[in-house]
């Protein structure tokens, strides 16, 4: 991944209505995973903030170096070994992440499929110019991938040795790496004694504690209106808010839009759902679930139940908003006329 720019720590004083300063909020901004990362810290001194910056830089650098899908990394080394039918030794922490991803894949009925790297490669999403116009892959290539049906069940790890029984497996953690990075960063914050903070990575985040005496208020992007918010949600304690949408990465060809969220059952971009917002304590699980729930279409409540997700908001292609009752309690829509359809977790029939 792109090398991190030097971190810039910006101290921002929160002011009361009369202009008197409250306790300082400290913000760090830096660049990784192809996007800007914002860190807000509340109730920490300057020395703690400096230590936090160092810890976060180490955390994000390590993940950058490990999981890049097409530039030299631990992941590309693993994928080369799989393609050659060779075993590869991996570190215990790398094995733990892969095994965690395999768990989410199984729970999602493999709609979240980190073994589908070759499919994303076919569609041109494993390169720096993924946004350039191009024709979709030839059908015979998609059919060959579907016939091979690579999944995380083809990955085997024993005594830190990884093997695969399917050479079409190519690991890619684009739908999971941001959540993994945020979880690692939150743990780094906690080790520095920071108990009130938020880490925002391109609009996805995990928040701990509060913003003073009030919760953190998070905006959720509208999937079809540029620079507009669909809703806001208040979080406190320890919660992650992750949104996947077909607007994040896409290319157009001959007037048709091809989003990057691919359905491993068809080999084509997912249909029906254009945005999925998930709230869960663990960022990695929320990240994986948001991807899986877009792919799931109208059956998203069943997949949410299987993944242990209770707070979900879906935007369908027709603009209709669906959500769980527990999510409704936290959401405040920008457009007060929005009428969401409530769906219970575990049900599969759209009203």
Domain architecture of the chain: domains with CATH: 8-42+195-342 (3.10.520.10), 74-164 (1.10.3980.10)
225 vs 86: which has the higher pLDDT? 86
**Assigned token pair, 25:** 């909020």
Sign, CA dihedral 29-179-183-225, equals positive
Distance CA 304, CA 307 (A): 5
Helix (H, G, I), strand (E, B) or coil at 61: helix
pLDDT in tens, 172-209: 987 788 898 899 889 888 887 888 999 988 888 999 99
pLDDT in tens, 98-117: 999 999 999 999 999 999 99
pLDDT in tens, 305-329: 999 999 999 999 999 999 999 999 9
Distance CA 295, CA 198 (A): 28
Is pTM beyond 0.85? Reply is yes
Give the confidence band of 254 by pLDDT, cuts at 50, 70, 90. Answer: very high
Place of tokens 């005496």: 213
- Model pLDDT, residue 220: 93
Q: Which residues make beta-bridge pairs with 239? A: 207
**Assigned token pair, 260:** 């990057």
| Over residues 254-277, mean pLDDT | 95
Highest mean pLDDT (candidates 13-22, 26-35, 39-48, 136-145) = 136-145
Cβ–Cβ < 8 Å for 331, 313: yes
């Amino acid at each position: 991944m792109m090398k991190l720019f030097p971190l810039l720590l910006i101290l921002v004083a929160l002011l009361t209505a009369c202009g008197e300063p409250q306790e300082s909020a400290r913000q760090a901004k830096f660049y990784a995973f192809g996007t800007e990362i914002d860190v807000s810290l509340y109730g920490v001194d300057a020395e703690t903030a400096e230590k936090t910056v160092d810890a976060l830089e180490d955390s994000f650098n390590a993940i950058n170096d490990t999981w890049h899908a097409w530039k030299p990394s631990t992941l590309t080394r693993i994928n080369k070994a799989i393609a050659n039918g060779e075993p590869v030794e991996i570190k215990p922490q790398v094995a733990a992440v892969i095994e965690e991803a395999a768990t989410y894949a199984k729970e999602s009925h493999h709609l979240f499929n980190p073994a589908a790297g070759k499919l994303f490669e076919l569609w041109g999403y494993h390169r720096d110019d993924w946004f350039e116009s191009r024709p979709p892959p030839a059908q015979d290539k998609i059919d060959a991938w579907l016939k091979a049906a690579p999944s995380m069940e083809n990955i085997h790890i024993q005594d830190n040795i990884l093997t695969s029984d399917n050479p079409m497996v190519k690991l890619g953690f684009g739908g999971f790496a941001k959540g993994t990075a945020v979880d690692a960063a939150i743990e780094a914050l906690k080790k520095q004694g920071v108990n009130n903070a938020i880490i925002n990575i391109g609009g996805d985040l995990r928040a701990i504690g509060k913003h003073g005496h009030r919760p953190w208020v998070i905006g959720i992007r509208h999937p079809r209106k540029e620079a507009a918010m669909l809703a806001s949600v208040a979080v406190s304690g320890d919660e992650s808010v992750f949104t996947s949408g077909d607007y994040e990465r896409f290319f157009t060809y001959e007037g048709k839009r091809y989003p990057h969220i691919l359905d491993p059952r068809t080999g084509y971009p997912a249909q029906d759902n254009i945005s999925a917002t998930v709230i869960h304590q663990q960022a990695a699980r929320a990240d994986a679930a948001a991807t899986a729930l877009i792919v799931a279409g109208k059956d998203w409540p069943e997949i949410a139940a299987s993944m242990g997700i209770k707070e979900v908001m879906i935007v369908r292609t027709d603009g209709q908003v669906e959500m769980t009752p527990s999510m409704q309690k936290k959401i405040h829509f920008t457009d007060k006329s929005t009428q969401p359809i409530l769906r219970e977790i575990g049900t599969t029939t759209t009203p």
